[in-house]
Amino acid sequence: GVMERLGLGPEVLLQENPRLIYARLTGFGQSGKYAKSAGHDINYLALSGVLSKLGRKNENPYAPGNLLADFAGGGVLCAMGIVIALFERARSGRGQVIDASMVKGVAYLSSFLWKSQNLGLWSQPRGENLLDSGAPFYETYRTSDGKFMAVGALEPKFYNQLIKGLGLNLDELPAQMSSSDWPEMKKKFASIFAQKTQAEWCSIFDSTDACVTPVLSFDDVASHQHNKERSSFFKNDQGEIIPRPAPVLSRSPAVPSCKRDPFIGEHTEEILLEYGFTKQEIAKLHSDKAIEFKNPKANL
Protein backbone atom coordinates (compact mmCIF):
# COMPACT_ATOMS: atom_id res chain seq x y z
CA GLY A 1 0.00 0.00 0.00
CA VAL A 2 2.99 2.35 0.12
CA MET A 3 2.81 3.26 -3.55
CA GLU A 4 -0.97 3.68 -3.38
CA ARG A 5 -0.59 6.18 -0.53
CA LEU A 6 1.76 8.15 -2.77
CA GLY A 7 -0.79 8.06 -5.58
CA LEU A 8 1.55 5.89 -7.63
CA GLY A 9 -0.21 2.52 -7.51
CA PRO A 10 -0.42 0.34 -10.62
CA GLU A 11 -4.05 1.25 -11.35
CA VAL A 12 -3.12 4.93 -11.62
CA LEU A 13 0.08 4.48 -13.59
CA LEU A 14 -1.30 1.89 -16.00
CA GLN A 15 -4.01 4.37 -16.93
CA GLU A 16 -1.28 6.86 -17.79
CA ASN A 17 0.74 4.23 -19.68
CA PRO A 18 -1.00 0.92 -20.55
CA ARG A 19 2.35 -0.52 -21.69
CA LEU A 20 3.89 -0.13 -18.24
CA ILE A 21 5.25 -3.22 -16.52
CA TYR A 22 4.86 -2.75 -12.76
CA ALA A 23 6.78 -5.20 -10.58
CA ARG A 24 5.83 -5.55 -6.90
CA LEU A 25 8.46 -7.50 -4.97
CA THR A 26 7.38 -8.34 -1.42
CA GLY A 27 7.89 -11.05 1.15
CA PHE A 28 4.36 -12.36 1.62
CA GLY A 29 2.69 -11.04 -1.54
CA GLN A 30 -0.11 -8.58 -2.24
CA SER A 31 -2.85 -10.59 -0.51
CA GLY A 32 -3.33 -13.10 2.29
CA LYS A 33 -3.17 -13.08 6.09
CA TYR A 34 0.49 -11.97 6.25
CA ALA A 35 0.39 -9.52 3.33
CA LYS A 36 0.90 -6.47 5.55
CA SER A 37 3.21 -8.19 8.06
CA ALA A 38 6.93 -7.59 8.45
CA GLY A 39 9.29 -10.45 7.71
CA HIS A 40 12.72 -11.51 6.52
CA ASP A 41 14.18 -14.29 4.38
CA ILE A 42 13.99 -16.84 7.20
CA ASN A 43 10.26 -16.14 7.68
CA TYR A 44 9.44 -16.45 3.98
CA LEU A 45 11.51 -19.63 3.81
CA ALA A 46 9.63 -21.01 6.81
CA LEU A 47 6.19 -20.26 5.38
CA SER A 48 7.10 -21.83 2.03
CA GLY A 49 7.83 -25.21 3.62
CA VAL A 50 11.39 -25.22 2.32
CA LEU A 51 13.01 -24.40 5.66
CA SER A 52 11.65 -27.61 7.16
CA LYS A 53 13.86 -29.54 4.71
CA LEU A 54 17.10 -27.71 5.47
CA GLY A 55 19.38 -28.91 8.24
CA ARG A 56 21.12 -31.95 9.64
CA LYS A 57 19.60 -34.88 11.46
CA ASN A 58 18.47 -34.13 15.04
CA GLU A 59 19.22 -30.44 14.61
CA ASN A 60 17.00 -27.39 14.13
CA PRO A 61 16.23 -26.33 10.56
CA TYR A 62 18.70 -23.69 9.35
CA ALA A 63 18.46 -20.94 6.77
CA PRO A 64 21.43 -20.70 4.35
CA GLY A 65 22.16 -16.99 4.71
CA ASN A 66 19.44 -14.99 2.99
CA LEU A 67 20.08 -16.40 -0.46
CA LEU A 68 17.04 -18.57 -1.09
CA ALA A 69 14.00 -16.40 -0.40
CA ASP A 70 15.44 -12.88 -0.78
CA PHE A 71 17.63 -13.32 -3.82
CA ALA A 72 16.55 -16.51 -5.60
CA GLY A 73 12.83 -16.77 -4.84
CA GLY A 74 12.51 -12.98 -4.71
CA GLY A 75 14.96 -11.05 -6.83
CA VAL A 76 15.72 -13.59 -9.55
CA LEU A 77 12.12 -14.69 -10.08
CA CYS A 78 10.95 -11.08 -10.05
CA ALA A 79 13.51 -10.28 -12.74
CA MET A 80 12.33 -13.31 -14.71
CA GLY A 81 8.75 -12.08 -14.36
CA ILE A 82 9.78 -8.72 -15.84
CA VAL A 83 11.51 -10.44 -18.76
CA ILE A 84 8.43 -12.61 -19.37
CA ALA A 85 6.17 -9.54 -19.24
CA LEU A 86 8.42 -7.72 -21.71
CA PHE A 87 8.27 -10.71 -24.05
CA GLU A 88 4.48 -10.85 -23.79
CA ARG A 89 4.16 -7.09 -24.33
CA ALA A 90 5.96 -7.43 -27.65
CA ARG A 91 2.90 -9.38 -28.86
CA SER A 92 0.03 -7.77 -26.95
CA GLY A 93 1.32 -4.22 -26.63
CA ARG A 94 0.07 -4.16 -23.05
CA GLY A 95 1.85 -4.04 -19.73
CA GLN A 96 0.85 -5.83 -16.52
CA VAL A 97 1.44 -6.04 -12.78
CA ILE A 98 3.86 -8.62 -11.40
CA ASP A 99 3.09 -9.90 -7.90
CA ALA A 100 6.49 -11.32 -6.90
CA SER A 101 6.11 -12.91 -3.46
CA MET A 102 9.23 -14.37 -1.89
CA VAL A 103 7.16 -17.09 -0.22
CA LYS A 104 5.61 -18.23 -3.50
CA GLY A 105 8.87 -17.68 -5.36
CA VAL A 106 10.98 -19.91 -3.12
CA ALA A 107 8.16 -22.50 -2.98
CA TYR A 108 8.13 -22.65 -6.78
CA LEU A 109 11.92 -22.75 -6.81
CA SER A 110 11.66 -25.87 -4.63
CA SER A 111 9.36 -27.72 -7.03
CA PHE A 112 11.98 -30.45 -7.31
CA LEU A 113 11.61 -31.21 -3.60
CA TRP A 114 7.86 -31.66 -3.98
CA LYS A 115 7.98 -33.70 -7.18
CA SER A 116 10.78 -36.00 -6.01
CA GLN A 117 9.23 -37.02 -2.68
CA ASN A 118 7.54 -40.04 -4.25
CA LEU A 119 10.83 -41.04 -5.88
CA GLY A 120 12.36 -41.68 -2.47
CA LEU A 121 14.78 -38.75 -2.58
CA TRP A 122 13.08 -36.86 0.27
CA SER A 123 10.95 -39.52 1.96
CA GLN A 124 13.03 -39.70 5.15
CA PRO A 125 13.25 -37.16 8.01
CA ARG A 126 15.48 -34.12 7.56
CA GLY A 127 19.17 -35.01 7.34
CA GLU A 128 18.60 -38.66 6.42
CA ASN A 129 18.02 -38.31 2.68
CA LEU A 130 20.24 -38.65 -0.34
CA LEU A 131 20.95 -34.94 -0.85
CA ASP A 132 20.63 -33.42 2.64
CA SER A 133 23.73 -34.87 4.35
CA GLY A 134 22.19 -38.29 4.94
CA ALA A 135 24.38 -40.08 2.41
CA PRO A 136 28.14 -40.46 3.00
CA PHE A 137 28.82 -39.86 -0.69
CA TYR A 138 26.99 -36.48 -0.74
CA GLU A 139 28.62 -34.66 2.15
CA THR A 140 31.45 -32.35 3.21
CA TYR A 141 34.48 -33.61 5.11
CA ARG A 142 37.14 -31.82 7.16
CA THR A 143 40.76 -32.21 6.08
CA SER A 144 43.87 -32.33 8.26
CA ASP A 145 44.54 -28.60 7.74
CA GLY A 146 41.07 -27.58 8.90
CA LYS A 147 39.67 -27.08 5.41
CA PHE A 148 36.95 -29.11 3.71
CA MET A 149 36.24 -31.28 0.67
CA ALA A 150 32.83 -31.56 -0.97
CA VAL A 151 31.76 -35.02 -2.14
CA GLY A 152 28.94 -35.53 -4.63
CA ALA A 153 29.58 -39.05 -5.91
CA LEU A 154 25.97 -40.06 -6.56
CA GLU A 155 26.20 -42.32 -9.60
CA PRO A 156 27.95 -45.72 -9.18
CA LYS A 157 30.73 -44.86 -11.65
CA PHE A 158 31.54 -41.71 -9.65
CA TYR A 159 31.21 -43.56 -6.34
CA ASN A 160 33.70 -46.16 -7.54
CA GLN A 161 36.21 -43.39 -8.24
CA LEU A 162 35.59 -41.94 -4.77
CA ILE A 163 36.24 -45.28 -3.09
CA LYS A 164 39.40 -45.78 -5.14
CA GLY A 165 40.69 -42.30 -4.25
CA LEU A 166 40.07 -42.95 -0.57
CA GLY A 167 42.17 -46.11 -0.78
CA LEU A 168 39.27 -48.42 0.05
CA ASN A 169 38.18 -51.71 -1.54
CA LEU A 170 34.65 -51.58 -2.94
CA ASP A 171 34.16 -55.33 -2.38
CA GLU A 172 34.77 -54.93 1.33
CA LEU A 173 32.14 -52.20 1.82
CA PRO A 174 28.34 -52.27 2.14
CA ALA A 175 26.28 -51.51 -0.96
CA GLN A 176 26.33 -47.81 -1.83
CA MET A 177 22.56 -47.36 -1.37
CA SER A 178 22.30 -49.33 1.88
CA SER A 179 21.02 -46.40 3.93
CA SER A 180 21.23 -48.31 7.21
CA ASP A 181 25.01 -48.38 6.75
CA TRP A 182 25.32 -44.68 5.89
CA PRO A 183 26.08 -43.42 9.43
CA GLU A 184 29.03 -45.80 9.82
CA MET A 185 30.26 -45.10 6.30
CA LYS A 186 30.23 -41.38 7.06
CA LYS A 187 32.43 -41.97 10.08
CA LYS A 188 34.82 -44.06 7.96
CA PHE A 189 35.03 -41.43 5.21
CA ALA A 190 35.49 -38.65 7.78
CA SER A 191 38.42 -40.41 9.44
CA ILE A 192 40.14 -40.91 6.07
CA PHE A 193 39.62 -37.34 4.84
CA ALA A 194 41.04 -36.07 8.14
CA GLN A 195 44.39 -37.72 7.33
CA LYS A 196 45.39 -35.44 4.44
CA THR A 197 45.35 -31.74 3.65
CA GLN A 198 42.91 -30.20 1.21
CA ALA A 199 45.72 -29.75 -1.33
CA GLU A 200 46.70 -33.41 -1.02
CA TRP A 201 43.12 -34.52 -1.64
CA CYS A 202 42.93 -32.21 -4.65
CA SER A 203 46.04 -33.85 -6.10
CA ILE A 204 44.27 -37.21 -5.76
CA PHE A 205 40.83 -36.27 -7.06
CA ASP A 206 41.36 -33.40 -9.52
CA SER A 207 42.10 -35.75 -12.42
CA THR A 208 39.19 -38.09 -11.68
CA ASP A 209 35.40 -38.15 -12.08
CA ALA A 210 34.79 -38.80 -8.40
CA CYS A 211 32.85 -35.51 -8.02
CA VAL A 212 35.15 -34.42 -5.20
CA THR A 213 36.13 -30.76 -5.05
CA PRO A 214 37.68 -28.38 -2.51
CA VAL A 215 35.38 -26.14 -0.45
CA LEU A 216 37.01 -22.84 -1.36
CA SER A 217 36.98 -19.87 0.99
CA PHE A 218 36.38 -16.34 -0.29
CA ASP A 219 40.12 -15.80 0.15
CA ASP A 220 41.02 -18.75 -2.09
CA VAL A 221 38.28 -18.83 -4.69
CA ALA A 222 39.74 -16.30 -7.16
CA SER A 223 43.17 -17.96 -7.22
CA HIS A 224 41.86 -21.45 -7.96
CA GLN A 225 43.05 -22.57 -11.40
CA HIS A 226 39.58 -23.29 -12.77
CA ASN A 227 38.17 -19.93 -11.72
CA LYS A 228 41.28 -18.15 -13.04
CA GLU A 229 40.92 -19.82 -16.43
CA ARG A 230 37.23 -18.82 -16.54
CA SER A 231 37.92 -15.27 -15.26
CA SER A 232 35.06 -15.90 -12.83
CA PHE A 233 36.23 -13.21 -10.40
CA PHE A 234 37.89 -9.82 -10.78
CA LYS A 235 39.18 -6.98 -8.61
CA ASN A 236 37.51 -3.59 -8.53
CA ASP A 237 39.47 -0.35 -8.18
CA GLN A 238 39.32 -0.75 -4.39
CA GLY A 239 41.12 -4.09 -4.61
CA GLU A 240 37.98 -6.01 -3.62
CA ILE A 241 37.36 -9.41 -5.26
CA ILE A 242 33.95 -9.58 -6.95
CA PRO A 243 32.17 -12.35 -8.92
CA ARG A 244 31.90 -11.60 -12.63
CA PRO A 245 28.31 -11.30 -13.95
CA ALA A 246 26.67 -14.51 -15.13
CA PRO A 247 25.44 -16.08 -17.31
CA VAL A 248 27.83 -15.10 -20.09
CA LEU A 249 26.11 -14.08 -23.34
CA SER A 250 27.99 -14.84 -26.56
CA ARG A 251 27.23 -11.58 -28.40
CA SER A 252 26.55 -9.14 -25.59
CA PRO A 253 28.26 -10.27 -22.40
CA ALA A 254 27.96 -8.02 -19.38
CA VAL A 255 30.80 -5.57 -18.86
CA PRO A 256 31.32 -5.28 -15.09
CA SER A 257 32.12 -1.96 -13.50
CA CYS A 258 35.41 -1.79 -11.62
CA LYS A 259 34.22 1.19 -9.60
CA ARG A 260 33.19 0.77 -5.98
CA ASP A 261 29.50 0.74 -5.10
CA PRO A 262 28.13 4.24 -4.46
CA PHE A 263 27.39 5.30 -0.92
CA ILE A 264 23.73 5.86 -0.03
CA GLY A 265 23.02 9.47 -0.93
CA GLU A 266 26.32 10.03 -2.74
CA HIS A 267 24.68 11.20 -5.98
CA THR A 268 21.38 12.51 -4.56
CA GLU A 269 22.02 16.20 -5.25
CA GLU A 270 23.57 15.50 -8.65
CA ILE A 271 20.54 13.48 -9.81
CA LEU A 272 17.94 15.91 -8.45
CA LEU A 273 19.69 18.85 -10.13
CA GLU A 274 19.68 16.86 -13.37
CA TYR A 275 15.91 16.43 -13.02
CA GLY A 276 15.30 20.16 -12.58
CA PHE A 277 15.16 20.60 -8.81
CA THR A 278 16.66 23.84 -7.49
CA LYS A 279 19.34 23.86 -4.81
CA GLN A 280 16.83 25.48 -2.47
CA GLU A 281 14.29 22.71 -3.07
CA ILE A 282 16.96 20.08 -2.52
CA ALA A 283 18.08 21.76 0.72
CA LYS A 284 14.46 21.76 1.93
CA LEU A 285 14.09 18.03 1.14
CA HIS A 286 17.28 17.37 3.06
CA SER A 287 16.22 19.41 6.07
CA ASP A 288 12.89 17.56 6.05
CA LYS A 289 14.91 14.31 6.04
CA ALA A 290 13.19 13.19 2.85
CA ILE A 291 16.57 12.64 1.19
CA GLU A 292 20.06 11.80 2.39
CA PHE A 293 23.45 13.15 1.43
CA LYS A 294 26.73 11.32 1.64
CA ASN A 295 30.01 13.03 0.79
CA PRO A 296 32.67 10.33 0.36
CA LYS A 297 35.47 12.90 0.69
CA ALA A 298 34.51 13.37 4.32
CA ASN A 299 35.70 9.81 4.98
CA LEU A 300 39.18 10.34 3.57
Give 11-49 pLDDT, tens digit per residue: 999 999 999 999 999 999 999 999 999 999 999 999 999
pLDDT band at 299 (very low <50, low <70, confident <90, very high): very low
* 127 close to 56: Cβ distance less than 8 angstroms: yes
Q: According to DSSP H, which parts of 30-92 are helical? A: 41-48, 77-92
288 catalytic residue (yes or no): no
286 catalytic residue (yes or no): no
Options 3.30.1540.10, 3.20.20.450, 3.40.710.10, 3.40.1280.10; CATH for 138-215 is 3.30.1540.10
Give 249-289 pLDDT, tens digit per residue: 999 999 998 988 888 899 999 999 999 999 999 999 999 98
* Annotated catalytic residue within 41, 70, 99, 206: 70
Q: According to DSSP H, which parts of the chain are helical? A: 2-5, 10-16, 41-48, 77-92, 102-109, 111-115, 156-165, 182-193, 198-205, 225-230, 268-274, 279-287
Q: Does residue 1 have a pLDDT over 80?
A: no
Options 3.40.50.10540, 3.90.420.10, 3.40.50.300, 3.40.190.10; CATH for 2-119 is 3.40.50.10540
- Closest by CA to 106, choosing from 54, 173, 143, is 54
Residues paired with 243 in a beta bridge: 233
Tell me what the pLDDT averaged over the chain comes to: 94
Instruction: With H, G, I as helix, E, B as strand and everything else as coil, classify residue 62.
Output: coil
Q: Does residue 195 have a pLDDT over 70?
A: yes
Give 116-128 pLDDT, tens digit per residue: 988 888 889 999 9
Give 77-112 pLDDT, tens digit per residue: 999 999 999 999 999 999 999 999 999 999 999 999
Domain-by-domain residue ranges, the chain? 2-119, 138-215, 260-299
* Annotated catalytic residue within 40, 145, 261, 267: 40
pLDDT given at position 262: 87
* 129 close to 123: Cβ distance less than 8 angstroms: yes
